[in-house]
Amino acid sequence: MTIFIPLLLLALFLIFGMPVAFAIGISGSVGLILAGGWDSFTGILLTAPYASVKSFLLSAIPMFILMASFMTVSGIMKDLINAAYKWLGRLPGGLGIATVFAGAVLGAVSGSSQASAATMASSVGPEMKKYNHKTPFILGVVSISGTLACMIPPSIVLILYGILTETSVGALLISGIIPGILTALGYIIVIFIWVKVKPEVAPKIDIKPTIKERISSLKTVWPMLVIIIAVLGGIYSGFITATEAGAVGALITFLVILFMGRFTFAKINSALNDAIKSSTMILTIIIGAHIFGYFLTITQITQQLVMLVEGMEVSRYVILLLIVFIYLILGLFMDQLAILILTLPLTFPIIISLGFNPIWFGIIVTKTAEIGLVTPPLGMNVFVASGASGLKASEGFKGVVWFVLMDLLVLAILILFPILSTWLPGKM
């Protein structure tokens, strides 16, 4: 009963819509009281909130969020999307392909999938509607392109995974490059086939930008290149750590905005407010998760699970596939960060005891998080894109079906070929 009551409370809190941070924290607190008494509960409550967020590594999260906020309010993201449209708009499904390309580049500097999806929905959505693209195609492409920020560094999901599992954050970020590119190519293939089979979903655009207009559009892309080189180049070369890269990226983005003359106090204030809100949410979830983690430690659930799995007479790959399946199911109902925080204390020790590479497993978990961002009923990216574009979310879920199937194929490839995730970190 000591174990099941907190777990039941957690499930009920999440079902009835309680914020994740409080659901985890309260159910963990009840578990602590039942398992260790009031003294144990009060002792942990006095130390856990500060101890769980004092880590220097965690400073990377608000810095990367701030960097993304700066780019959003300054219009740098929209400039990138417009440039991609000028070059790729004439291809079959060209606007969709341009959106995937822009999503990949935005992912390389923002780390926030919701920010990417919202920006592309408000920028590309009206253009697609203007050229009579169907709603499922519009929302499907925009929503799935936003998920690329989950994988392509600087990914907040990978940073949090590294912090929770004490795995090198720098190596994790670099490991996401090849899987991220592979995922983007998969999305482009889906768009190309979809438009070939059903041309009416994305009618061919007759307007053809001149060479001069295309080259001129590249003038607006330089800020993004500067930021990418500073962040990824700094991490890969070892000149700065992954934690420092967030602060460097935010500073360089701010200086770029100043240089471009796009600085206004209203925009900076908006960016700071957005960054504070998002960072507070994530850090509060981490506090709640640590309280729940102490409950798991006291009851020894983790140790018992590891012993149970080690005693099972099945292939370690069967256990891996079971864990991946659980992550995919949880992604249907829960926020991705909450899933990581709740499950990693249980699944990571099992994965390590089975001899799997922790960096590779981080990529696998992140891939399942990408899928969860667009699958109903939660499908956060679809709802964000729907709200930003004014289109029906139900149409968006129809539009992501083929992309999700491609994601599952890419997930299978990443499981079968771990070198795709571990080769680049090994070259650092």
Provide the pLDDT for residue 180.
92
Distance CA 45, CA 40 (A): 9
**Quick check: is 102 in a domain?**
yes
For residue 295, tell me if it sits in a domain: no
Give the amino acid at 290: H
Does residue 266 contact residue 73 with C-beta atoms inside 8 Å? no
Instruction: Using alpha carbons, select from 300, 296, 426 the residue that is nearest to residue 357.
Output: 426
pLDDT at residue 407 in the model: 95
Q: What is the pTM of this model?
A: 0.79
pLDDT at 423: 93
Cβ atoms of residues 201 and 136 within 8 Å: yes
The count of structural domains within the chain is 1
72 lies in a domain? yes
The answer to whether residue 128 is domain-embedded is yes
C-alpha–C-alpha distance, residues 286 and 284, integer Å: 5
Q: For residue 88, what pLDDT is reported?
A: 72
**So what's the pLDDT on residue 191?**
94
**Residue whose pair of structure tokens reads 């750590």 in the numeric block:** 241
Query: Which pLDDT does position 1 carry in this prediction?
Result: 61
CA 38 – CA 40 distance, rounded (Å)? 5
What letter represents residue 351's amino acid? I
pLDDT per residue of the chain (428 residues) written in tens, 0 to 9:
667 788 888 878 877 778 777 888 888 888 888 887 888 788 888 887 877 777 777 777 788 778 877 877 787 777 777 777 777 767 778 888 888 888 887 777 666 677 677 777 777 777 788 778 898 998 999 889 888 888 887 788 888 899 889 898 888 988 999 999 999 999 999 999 999 999 888 887 766 777 777 777 777 778 888 888 888 788 777 788 777 887 888 898 889 888 888 878 888 888 888 888 877 877 887 788 778 877 877 777 766 766 776 677 788 898 899 899 888 887 876 777 778 877 888 889 889 988 999 999 999 999 998 898 888 866 778 887 887 777 787 888 899 999 999 999 999 999 999 999 999 888 86
The confidence score (pLDDT) of residue 271 equals: 84
Local structure of residue 204 (DSSP, 8 states): P
What is the distance between the alpha carbons of residues 186 and 404, in angstroms, rounded to a whole number?
10
Q: Note the helical H segments in 131-176.
A: 135-146, 148-151, 156-165, 169-175
Q: How many angstroms separate the CA atoms of 368 and 364, rounded?
A: 6
Asked, for residue 39, whether it belongs to a domain, the answer is: no
Question: For residue 6, is it within any domain?
Answer: no
79: which 2 tokens?
């400039």
Cβ–Cβ under 8 Å, residues 67 and 227: yes
- The parent domain of residue 379 ranges over 56-282+301-426
Q: At what angle do helices 336-353 and 156-165 cross, to 10 degrees?
A: 40
Q: Is residue 227 part of a domain?
A: yes
Task: Please report which helix (H) or strand (E) contains residue 115, including its range.
Answer: helix 113-130
Please indicate, yes or no, if residue 381 is contained in any of the structural domains.
yes
Q: How many CB atoms lie within 10 A of CB 59?
A: 15
283 touches 332 (CB < 8 A): no
Q: Which pLDDT score is estimated for 207?
A: 65
CA dihedral 94, 99, 105, 109 (to 10 degrees): 170
How far is 105 from 218, CA to CA, in rounded Å?
14
